[in-house]
């Protein structure tokens, strides 16, 4: 195997594993390692159908004659952000909700993060791939380190935060049955909107907005997720998941 592929795989996974270790420490009642690996790999597996969905929808969008700004909004908010958040949510809905390993509200939020980290890992690896023949080994390593660090504090962290917001809303929906659907839809909407705005800002804006808006989004999501973790910890004794 080409050494460059090994480098890309290792450094593509490092950000996800680092964040995984951080989030797992927040769980007072550790989840089974087998279940953690299962959901992590499901996060990786869903990248393939997400890719085909995004390519197909982009092809359809390209057939339209919409204004460039409308095009960018549809692409980043609906095609990219909505598809990714929806598929990560479906992994938990299908593979976790009816699992015997699920015994407290916090678990839902945690498993959403784990699925997101699996998805981010394969995304990171793909972003690292470049025509290695055009670079020396030192240049390749330098670029890999820079991209890995940027995605560690940016895209990978964003994936965990957005999925955590959806995880919180899903867990909360089990505790507040009367507002079940409203809570879930609101959580998905917030995650998709902020995820889309993050991508839209970085890829289409310029100047201070290009970096300022993403920083504000990350900080806002981090605050929401920290608050969500604390709220779910308080609910564990009064909320049944099933």
239, burial (CB in 10 Å: exposed 0-12, middle 13-18, buried 19+):
middle
Evaluate if residue 173 carries a pLDDT over 90.
Answer: no
Evaluate if residue 13 carries a pLDDT over 90.
Answer: yes
Section 91-110 average pLDDT = 88
Q: What percent of the chain has pLDDT over 90?
A: 62
Which own/partner pairs from 138-144 qualify as long-range (CB within 8 Å, at least 24 positions apart)? Answer: 140/4, 140/7, 141/7, 144/7, 144/8, 144/11
Evaluate if residue 216 carries a pLDDT over 90.
Answer: yes
Distance, CA of 17 to CA of 239 (rounded, Å): 30
Contacts of 49 (CB under 8 A, 6+ apart): 87
DSSP structure class, residue 237: T
Distance, CA of 12 to CA of 76 (rounded, Å): 23
Distance, CA of 38 to CA of 95 (rounded, Å): 9
Q: Grade residue 240 by pLDDT with cuts at 50, 70 and 90.
A: low
Q: Grade residue 138 by pLDDT with cuts at 50, 70 and 90.
A: confident
């Amino acid at each position: 195997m080409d050494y460059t592929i090994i480098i890309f795989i290792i450094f593509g996974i490092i950000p996800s594993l680092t964040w995984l270790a951080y989030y797992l420490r927040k769980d007072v009642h550790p989840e089974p390692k087998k279940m953690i690996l299962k959901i992590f790999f499901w996060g990786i597996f869903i990248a393939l159908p997400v890719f085909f969905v995004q390519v197909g929808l982009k092809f359809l969008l390209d057939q339209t004659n919409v204004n460039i700004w409308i095009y960018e909004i549809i692409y980043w908010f609906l095609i990219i952000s909505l598809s990714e958040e929806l598929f990560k949510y479906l992994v938990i809905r299908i593979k976790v909700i009816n699992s015997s390993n699920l015994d407290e509200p916090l678990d839902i939020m945690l498993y959403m993060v784990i699925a997101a980290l699996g998805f981010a890992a394969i995304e990171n690896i793909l972003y690292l791939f470049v025509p290695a023949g055009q670079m020396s080994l030192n240049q390749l390593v330098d670029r890999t380190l820079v991209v890995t660090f940027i995605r560690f504090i940016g895209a990978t962290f964003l994936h965990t935060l957005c999925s955590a917001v959806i995880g919180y809303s899903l867990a909360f929906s089990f505790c507040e049955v009367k507002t079940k659907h409203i809570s879930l839809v609101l959580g998905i909407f917030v995650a998709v909107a902020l995820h889309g705005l993050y991508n839209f800002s970085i890829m289409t804006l310029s100047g201070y907005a290009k970096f300022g808006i993403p920083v504000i989004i990350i900080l806002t999501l981090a605050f929401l997720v920290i608050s969500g973790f604390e709220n779910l910890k308080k609910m564990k004794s009064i909320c049944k998941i099933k």
